[in-house]
Amino acid sequence: MSVPLAYVIAGSEATGGAGIQVDLKTFQQLGVYGVGTLTCIVSFDPKNGWAHRFVPVDPQVIADQIEAATSAHALRTVKIGMLGTPATIETVAAGLASQEWDNVVVDPVLICKGQEPGAALDTDNALRAQILPHATVVTPNLVESTILSGADSIGTVDELIEAAKVIGRQGPKYVVAKGGVELPGDEAIDVVWDGEDVTVLTAPKIGEHRVSGAGCTLAAAITAELAKGADVPSATRTAKDVVSAGIEARVSAATPFDTVWQGAYQG
């Protein structure tokens, strides 16, 4: 029996609500065997308002993990999550270039919830220059779309579409630009731009509060569906259903945000 495989290169988020923990849970729920490489360890600090504590993994150790994973398995589909430093980006870009991929899903984690935007311009620029050109799909949230497109702000669906088009010119074949709860209106809107046409996906917003792990779950679910042979538009539609079900059944914690329950989606 051959099981579909998906690979993720991402960071650990110690509360379980984001990062590689979410990616691997999502892969499993969608019937895909997950292989993971760790780029960094994020441990929120409960004594200090759950502020970020961030430790990058040594670049050589990242390269070693990529070597082990890609030597053990015939991996064709990969998701890139949080990278965090220019040195990590350099190492991961070299890993991506070392073999061919059918699908590279890039979740451009420029900042996490609670961090200041623009904290690390060199990291943003390295991601844009070295990772985006490899992407089959990139999945920016509203803040990331604003940064990557250079827009002053994004407050409407038309502005989100414009930003997706600008990001699409930086290399990725598909841009899935997420409106999330911050984009005004009753619907959670995602814009899919394929270089020629735009598709607007909608789902009812579930509450007005952000839920941790929604972005990681969406990109991981797209990755899993691509690994199973879906095309990008249908993978994105399924992924949106996975996120909606997971937000509906969210898990509460002492952290500032509830988190997505990946086990809720039953296909």
Q: Where along the sequence are the contacts to ligand PXL (CB under 6 A)?
A: 10-13, 18-19, 42, 81-82, 109, 112, 215-216
Whichever of 198 and 257 has its CB closer to ligand PXL, that residue is 257
Asked if 22 and 217 count as a contact pair (C-beta separation under 8 A), the reply is yes
| Closest CB to ligand PXL among residues 41, 203 | 41
| Phi, psi (rounded to 5 degrees) for 169 | -75, -10
Query: Pick from 57, 51, 53: which is nearest to 43 by CA?
Result: 53
Nearest-angstrom CA–CA distance, 27 and 121 = 31
| Phi and psi, residue 152, nearest 5° | -70, -45
Task: Quote the least distance from Cβ 81 to ligand PXL, whole Å.
Answer: 5
Shorter beta-carbon distance to ligand PXL: residue 58 or 158: 58
For ligand PXL, the closer CB: 79 or 134: 79
Between CA 137 and CA 172 the distance in angstroms is 6
| Cβ 1 to ligand PXL shortest distance, Å | 32
Tell the smallest beta-carbon distance from residue 82 to ligand PXL (Å): 4
Q: What are phi and psi of 148, to 5 degrees?
A: -70, -25
173 contacts 185 by C-beta, under 8 angstroms:
no
Instruction: Kindly state the smallest distance separating residue 3's Cβ from ligand PXL, in Å.
Output: 25
**Which C-beta is closer to ligand PXL: that of 198 or that of 222?**
222
Instruction: Tell me the closest approach of the beta carbon of residue 231 to ligand PXL, in angstroms.
Output: 26
